[in-house]
Amino acid sequence: MDIENIDVKNILGLQLPTDPRWINLAEMQLEEILTDHAYCEQKAATTCITLIQKYSDKEKLVIELSPIVTEEWGHFRLVLAELHKRKLQLGKQRKDVYVNKLIDFQHKGGSPEERMLDHLLTMALIEARSCERFKRLSEGLNDVYMRNFYRRFMESEAGHYTLFIELADTYYKKEVVRKRWKEWLVYEKGIMKEMEVRGDRIH
């Protein structure tokens, strides 16, 4: 993936870019945004562990997600270190309205294998939106150090997004994956339109 020229719609597939006001709000609430970022990385690691446990018979999934657990936990530690360096506090974990709305869209019936597709696409979408947000921070923050700090995360999330799509393609017909992915993208656009623009959280 061409990190330098990420096109939100054509590469990540997202139908609606982040409101430009978010970057300015985030810069004014650095402690809150770093806290929320830390918990996002923590939840990504634990979700990958859950997927490995739930679908332990899927060899490729287990092999591919195992190092992601380590990577995401490493990201949590990096953000935590940044907070400590700045003498800021890791605040309380907040309810993630964005992710909860995505979970509401997952198919709840059927077999575990049928539900697995939505689990993978949910993770792909979270990683894609995180990548887009980190791209905004890496380009829009006034602090050069923090721009570079978020560039590293942007590069990682872009790779994670493609991995979850590839895993979906491994276990399902590509036309099935693409059809459902389009439905997810339309749904996510609606979420982004409705949600309040807040600078104290990543999503």
Q: What is the pLDDT of residues 6-49, one digit of tens each?
A: 555 555 789 999 999 999 999 999 999 999 999 999 999 999 99
| Nearest partner of 39 among 79, 69, 68, judged by Cα | 79
In-domain check, residue 12: no
What is the H or E stretch that residue 64 is in?
helix 59-85
Confidence at residue 6, expressed as pLDDT on a 0 to 100 scale: 53
Q: What pLDDT digit, counting tens, does each position of 81-122 carry? A: 999 999 999 988 888 899 999 999 998 887 787 799 999 999
16 assigned to some structural domain: no
Look at the pTM and tell me if it is higher than 0.85. Answer: yes
Q: How many whole angstroms separate alpha carbon 116 and alpha carbon 65?
A: 14
* Number of neighbouring beta carbons within 10 Å of residue 164: 25
Residue 4 placed within a domain: no
In a domain, 153, yes or no: yes
Which residues, at least 6 apart from 162, have a Cβ–Cβ distance to it below 8 Å?
1
Q: Read off the tokens for 112.
A: 């575990």
Residues 66-76 have a mean pLDDT of 96
In a domain, 76, yes or no: yes
CATH code of 36's domain: 1.20.1260.10
Average pLDDT over residues 56-75: 96
Evaluate whether residue 64 is within a structural domain. Answer: yes
Summary count for the chain: helices (H), strands (E): 7, 0
- 185 in any annotated domain: yes
| Residue 141 pLDDT | 94
**Range with lowest mean pLDDT among 83-87, 173-177, 196-200:** 196-200
Residue range(s) defining the domain that contains residue 57: 26-93+108-194
What is the sign, positive or negative, of the torsion defined by CA atoms of 122, 126, 131, 132? Answer: positive
User: How many domains is the chain partitioned into structurally?
Assistant: 1
Cα–Cα distance, 102 to 185 (Å, whole number): 10
Position 66 scores a pLDDT of 97
Q: What is the mean pLDDT of residues 176-188?
A: 96
Query: What CA dihedral angle connects 191, 196, 199 and 203, to 10 degrees?
Result: -20
How far apart, in whole angstroms, are the C-alpha atoms of residue 203 and residue 201?
6
59 inside domain: yes
